[in-house]
Amino acid sequence: MSTGKEELDVEDEFAPVDNDEADAPVETAKTNLSKRRTIDNLLEERRLQRQLADYDFDL
């Protein structure tokens, strides 16, 4: 047990949290979402081009 008269060693040194590192996953998520939307748009355009090519214009 502690009697309260003992000296405790307290270290005041700590590593500060860098705010740039905390924002990094958000940027990655935004970039991935943007890339996914671009890919989805390209796939949709290809699908529509295929539908146009297969469409029978001689109705």
Cα-based distances in Å from 5 to 8, 10, 11, 12, 34: 9, 15, 19, 21, 61
49 in any annotated domain: yes
Per-residue pLDDT of the chain (59 residues; tens, 9 = 90+): 556 666 666 666 666 666 655 555 667 888 999 999 999 999 999 999 999 998 877 76
11 CB-contact burial (10 Å; exposed 0-12 / middle 13-18 / buried 19+): exposed
10 in any annotated domain: no
43 in any annotated domain: yes
21 in any annotated domain: no
The pTM assigned to this predicted structure is 0.48
What pLDDT score does 56 carry?
78
- Dmax of the chain from CA atoms? 99
Number of domains observed in the structure of the chain: 1
What pLDDT score does 30 carry?
85
Full residue range of the structural domain in which residue 36 is found: 26-54
11 in any annotated domain: no
